[in-house]
Structure 1
């Protein structure tokens, strides 16, 4: 993102997958139809599941039955206090500035990175506006609700909040002021048609291990602020999740993690991902969940792609890594990383620093809303990493430099 009127944008996808590991089948996650075309996607590694894959037809009945029996009770959010500060962004970027740091403004879900080159990137796995009270675009009364909604959403708008958030941000006029008509969206396979149906033409669809070169060229006069041109490398990379809002659109679009490099700085966005699926593990008393990183579970498969990402695209100056929505572990571990998983991903992707995302926004799962930051500190200590200053939890809206 840059000034909506100051830059023109060109995107060139590189031929092939030049940085993909040699031992990787780059189409192993494609499910082919009878005509040889890709019809859906799958997680190619055994780390994704301990049994039946998680999906709308299994997770919803499981949660409903667990709530009925009292074995899966969502935590109260009555006294939850997620720290929130008013965000601030740099008015402009210039290559002549003495500040050549990467600047990131965090949240529990999305984050904005401001690169020394002048590039600004919004990373967001959901594109849900602050008015969205529910996570899904369908069945709003039954789907996970927001922990700290900043303003109520009108009922008639809930069903299409993802579309409304995206189009308002991208190009529609709001009052007398156009938003960001030149913003460019990078998305996984299968999603381009949704954006085009919204009236957005600036979209590039990518597969795992593909790269694209983004070049922004200033179109205004010499007195305009900002550099004459901005270049960036965008990488679409593997992660472990699933897609679909309804039973019939299961895995028809590709989930992904992303890397962006510009101005000598790089960011890895882990997005919404799992790391290693684990079975049901009981604690010593049999009343709660036990440690799934104990010696007896050391041999459980781990997703090998994070180490491959670190070896081929790393190191990264900053990682934006998920730490929440992981309980019960036997149900969600295949698609949502725990804090301990997040630390392993942090090490394998070779991130120098990290900010935690994917926690404290939606009431998705059974852990206490404020538990992930505490377990993250424990996981860092277990791995011999400083509890502060390396992989941090920031207030919503807080900015830090790297």
Structure 2
């Protein structure tokens, strides 16, 4: 159905409000010959671990700290239901519909008819190997071939739980007209994979995309427009131990027909120092109460918000002293929700692979406590749902 539309995309450029510091490109690190060598998080809230430092810290935590935990992934965990997709672009609603497909993957149906897929990973393992690495403890709710329309695929960064080579090739097979939007430096990976239609953006760059129907009808839009925006977050990238931070990571905003989605993808909010206290809410500890927080989210909220829906990560945060710089716990997640001025939010980055040490059902439990702590209702504002479930916004 996507093939019945001709797609045009404007060149990447700042098309909306940006911070005054955006032109400084403080997240770029140049090599000796003037090329961009790698990327960094340019904030006091971030801590940059090398691969070796991460390995040493995890080994010390696992074998010497006495605080290590192996999550129990045996059923029951998270319910999985069969997704219900809108099979055509027929306009019968003024609301936007979002369907969680596990971990960070969301499929969003805009009332204009636009269909966006975020961070699709449909494999059994989020790993470069088919027999090793983190294995799903909840089944995928559907196959890529079940998705009726994919206009755009948005990728947050290169980690295996967010970017899957087999999944990308499957999308290309079933939806050859789909456009891919990726952070700076990642287009080459797509080109090398035989996928030419990837658009590469830097932080605070936007593109306008137009889908023009070749044979419009009364029931469908003859012309669909959207703005796709690449925005900052606090994370990193790598697909091997040797290419860390050589491609950019990003959060994204998509707006079409008066509805907007803000997709965090994967991000930390602050960096919690090493501590022997395995506490649920480390914000209450006096020594951690005033740690620097990532300023990018407040900038995003002030300059680009409000958003109708935020897709915000809540999992993969223990051990905190190793992961807090790149992964948010639910108390951080609620702070991101407030900073970015999302009207409502759905939780992502949990319930699929046990990529960290918290119990698999701890993130939604802590999310409720974080909401109450911030004076927000437990339901109806920042929610969880079953894998495969859709919600309207």
Taking the aligned partners of 2:81 and 2:204, their CA distance within structure 1 comes to: 36
Contact 2:30–2:37, Cα closer than 8 Å, also in 1: yes
* 1:256 lines up with 2:254 in the alignment: no
Report what 1:227 is aligned to: 221
Report what 1:163 is aligned to: 165
Aligned counterpart for 1:378 among listed residues 364, 369, 373: 369
Aligned counterpart for 1:144 among listed residues 134, 139, 146: 134
CA gap of 1:149–1:87, structure 2 versus 1, over 3 A, is: closer
* 1:189 lines up with 2:184 in the alignment: yes
Taking the aligned partners of 1:140 and 1:24, their CA distance within structure 2 comes to: 43
Query: Secondary structure of 2:343's partner?
Result: coil
Report what 1:44 is aligned to: 42
Taking the aligned partners of 2:216 and 2:60, their CA distance within structure 1 comes to: 65
Report what 2:149 is aligned to: none
Q: TM-score, normalised by structure 1?
A: 0.87
- Structure 1 residue 79: Cα displacement: 3.6
CA gap of 1:315–1:196, structure 2 versus 1, over 3 A, is: same
Contact 2:74–2:137, Cα closer than 8 Å, also in 1: no
Report what 2:153 is aligned to: none
* 1:356 lines up with 2:351 in the alignment: no
Report what 2:151 is aligned to: none
Report what 2:154 is aligned to: none
Taking the aligned partners of 1:118 and 1:17, their CA distance within structure 2 comes to: 23
Taking the aligned partners of 2:340 and 2:196, their CA distance within structure 1 comes to: 32
Aligned counterpart for 2:237 among listed residues 238, 243, 250: 243
Structure 1: segments with no counterpart, 5+ residues = 152-157, 173-178
Deviations 1:120-143 (A, max 9, x none): 10111xx321x322x2225963x3
Q: TM-score, normalised by structure 2?
A: 0.89
Query: Secondary structure of 1:169's partner?
Result: helix
Taking the aligned partners of 2:216 and 2:139, their CA distance within structure 1 comes to: 43
Contact 2:103–2:353, Cα closer than 8 Å, also in 1: no
Taking the aligned partners of 2:222 and 2:21, their CA distance within structure 1 comes to: 40
Taking the aligned partners of 2:136 and 2:268, their CA distance within structure 1 comes to: 21
* 1:266 lines up with 2:260 in the alignment: yes
Contact 2:80–2:386, Cα closer than 8 Å, also in 1: yes
CA gap of 1:233–1:329, structure 2 versus 1, over 3 A, is: same
Structure 2: segments with no counterpart, 5+ residues = 142-159
Query: Secondary structure of 1:247's partner?
Result: coil
The alignment yields a C-alpha RMSD, in angstroms, of: 2.1
Deviations 1:325-369 (A, max 9, x none): 001111100000000000000000000000000011111111100
Aligned counterpart for 1:9 among listed residues 7, 10, 15: 7
What is the number of residues matched between the two proteins? 370
Taking the aligned partners of 1:114 and 1:9, their CA distance within structure 2 comes to: 18
- Structure 1 residue 184: Cα displacement: 0.3
Taking the aligned partners of 1:242 and 1:273, their CA distance within structure 2 comes to: 9
